[in-house]
Amino acid sequence: MAENNEMAMDMEAKNQQFDEDLEEILSRLDASNYFGAREIMLKYNEVDIAEILEEVLDELGVEKVIIIFRMLPKNVSVEVFSYLPGDDQVEIINGITDREISFILDELDFDDKIDVLEELPANIVDKILDQTPKEERKLINTFLNYPEDCAGSLMTPDYISLQETMTVEEALHHIKTQGMDSETVYTCYVKHGGRELKGIVSLSALVTADSDTLVSELMHTDYVYLNVYDDQEEVAEAFKKYGFLAIPVVDNENRLVGIVTVDDIMEIIEEETTEDIERMGGVMSDDQDSEYLDIGVFKHAKNRLPWLLFMTVMLMITGTLIAQFEEVLSQVIVLVAYLPLLMGTGGNTGTQAATLIIRGLSVDEIDLKDVMKVVWKELRISIILGLVLSAFNFLKIIIIDQQSVLVGLTVALSMVIVIIFAKLIGGLLPMAAKKIGVDPALMATPMISSLTDMVSSCIYLFTASLILGIAL
């Protein structure tokens, strides 16, 4: 592999270099110059090579990927494989021999192996399990049975077990004989009796302590732990909160069954964030693993349809309500020109409040008991914004549009009321959702704007009929 001892590049220069190399690799592969492509690829580390293979698969198809994948050094190819997305792994598995599959699976870390097996079709999994030693087969089956998206499905059973009575020297010797080379080695677990977790001790504590210190003197017993059935969102929260590199996972009897390491959590956080953002944008997707471009148009349409149908019904009701004010509208047709302004302002101010509250709830900055603080804050904010925006609009209506003062007053007054309502709806609805156990992210733009559209148009037209003295 190339050495980095030329002048250091910043991130932008590195990305540009990577893009150029990627183009060159694609064109060499397209021309079936495999050795030429391999030469450039090997300048990069395994994560980057995985990214290159993803592009090759997208652009040139699976055959070229398999040829170049087979040309990678064996140990590199296994690691590259572990960094590929699930569906790309399945495509490669389907194109290589059983012998190559076995080699890859044997070399993978246990948690990566479980991830791959979860993606593969059942008949291939059975074939693989047939060739696995009985003890490991049992363990694999246990892991495959944990519900997806829980701590049990994220953990690895590869961890270092120590005894309280060991000295540091004995502990380090034990670690050396176990010989694991991954991030799993940095926290060691001290068990009591059979499998009950007693405490944890970090490798750094062991390495920096005197050889004859006892493990029991170094271990922490106030460790943080996860339950196998804790949801992956809670797992991610625990890592964010404590900043640990690994957290032990125990079953209901406090027996240590595995550990979750921080490197697997980054992906989870990204998936959970994507889910939140999509829901806030009115998209109901059930797999955040799949990329936008890989999802078919019918699936995309299906993910978007529920919210659109809901909103259509809401907007129909709004239309029916507006139709009740036909008398006002037909007498002062110019009122129609300001309807979008009122509805849009309601939707936008409501969305702002909802966005902040949803995010605040999700990062634990806002608690359900803060509800009155939120109301009081949004009330004051909406009065400030209401005054500024309605003054601005009033002047524009009188001076530029040359409408009557009564029309200006109608718009200005209803705008203040609309903003107050919208901010309160936007602030309270996410909290109410959380209270009854519904995801607050569902109370973003689509829901808020549907509700505020309805409220805004009624407030506006009702105010108009009062100020302009038109009987309904």
Q: Which of residues 107-146 bind a second copy (CB under 8 A)?
A: none
Q: Segment near a second copy (CB under 8 A), from 25-33, 114-122, 124-132, 354-362?
A: 354-362
Q: Is 258 helix (H, G, I), strand (E, B) or coil?
A: strand
Number of residues in contact with a second copy under rule CB under 8 A:
150
Backbone φ and ψ for 288, nearest 5 degrees, come out as -80, -5
CB of 130 to a second copy, least distance (A): 32
Helix (H) or strand (E) holding 217: helix 215-218
* Contact region with a second copy (CB under 8 A), list: 31-39, 109-117, 123-131, 352-360: 352-360
Residue type, 24: E
Give CA–CA dist 20/1, Å, rounded: 18
Q: How far is the CB of 102 from a second copy (least distance, A)?
A: 25
Q: Provide long-range contacts, Cβ within 8 A and 24+ apart, for 78-82.
A: 78/103, 78/104, 78/107, 78/108, 79/46, 80/46, 80/49, 80/50, 80/53, 81/50, 81/108, 82/108, 82/109, 82/112
Binders in 181-240 for a second copy, by CB under 8 A: 181-183, 185-186, 192, 196-198, 202-205, 207-208, 220-227, 229-231, 234, 238-240
* CA atoms of 72 and 78, how far apart (whole Å): 9
Q: Which of 77, 89, 352, 410 binds a second copy (CB under 8 A)?
A: 352
Q: Based on CB atoms, which residue is closest to a second copy, 449 or 465?
A: 449
Q: Which is nearer to a second copy, 91 or 267 (CB)?
A: 267
Contact flag: residue 289 with a second copy (CB under 8 A):
no
Contacts of 382 (CB under 8 A, 6+ apart): 349, 419, 420, 422, 423, 424
Among 77, 414, 450, 463, interactor with a second copy by CB under 8 A: 450
DSSP-assigned letter for residue 290:
S
For helices 98-107 and 122-130, the axis angle rounded to 10 degrees is: 80
Among 116, 421, 446, 465, binds a second copy (CB under 8 A): 446
Nearer to a second copy, 32 or 309 (CB): 309
Interacting residue with a second copy among 37, 68, 385, 455 (CB under 8 A) = 385
Binding to a second copy (CB under 8 A) within 322-351 occurs at: 322-323, 326, 329-330, 333-334, 336-341, 343-345, 347-349, 351
Closer residue to a second copy (CB): 37 or 190: 190
Site for a second copy in 248-277 (CB under 8 A): 250-254, 262-264, 266-267, 269-270, 273-274, 276-277
d(CA 448, CA 340): 16
| Cα gap 404→398, rounded to integer Å | 6
CA distances from 222 to 184, 197, 200 (A): 20, 11, 9
Residues in region 143-172 near a second copy by CB under 8 A: 172
* Under rule CB under 8 A, residue 394 binds a second copy: no
9 lies in the site for a second copy, by CB under 8 A = yes
Dump strand ranges (E) for 62-203: 160-162, 187-192, 196-202
CA dist list (Å): 234 to 203, 362, 397: 26, 11, 52
CB atoms < 10 A from the CB of 316, how many? 10
Q: Is 472 in the site for a second copy (CB under 8 A)?
A: no
Dihedral sign computed on CA atoms, order 355, 356, 357, 361: positive
Query: Which of 75, 286, 392, 405 is close enough to bind a second copy by CB under 8 A?
Result: 392
Binding flag, residue 307, a second copy (CB under 8 A): yes
Rg over CA atoms, the chain: 30
Residue range at the interface with a second copy (CB under 8 A); choices 64-72, 121-129, 177-185, 464-472: 177-185
Minimum Å distance from CB 345 to a second copy? 7
Give the residue with the Cβ less far from a second copy, 180 or 406: 180
Shortest separation between residue 159's beta carbon and a second copy, angstroms: 13
In terms of Cα–Cα distance, which of 99, 102, 94, 39 is closest to 72? 39
Of the pair 95, 229, the CB lying nearest a second copy is at: 229
Residues between 12 and 41 that touch a second copy (CB under 8 A): none
Q: Please check whether residue 423 is in contact with residue 349, taking contact to mean a CB–CB distance below 8 angstroms.
A: yes
Q: Report the Cα–Cα distance between both ends of the chain, in Å, rounded.
A: 80
Among 44, 159, 189, 394, binds a second copy (CB under 8 A): 44
Of 329 and 429, which has the nearer Cβ to a second copy?
A: 329
Asked if 366 is part of the footprint of a second copy (rule: CB under 8 A), the reply reads: yes
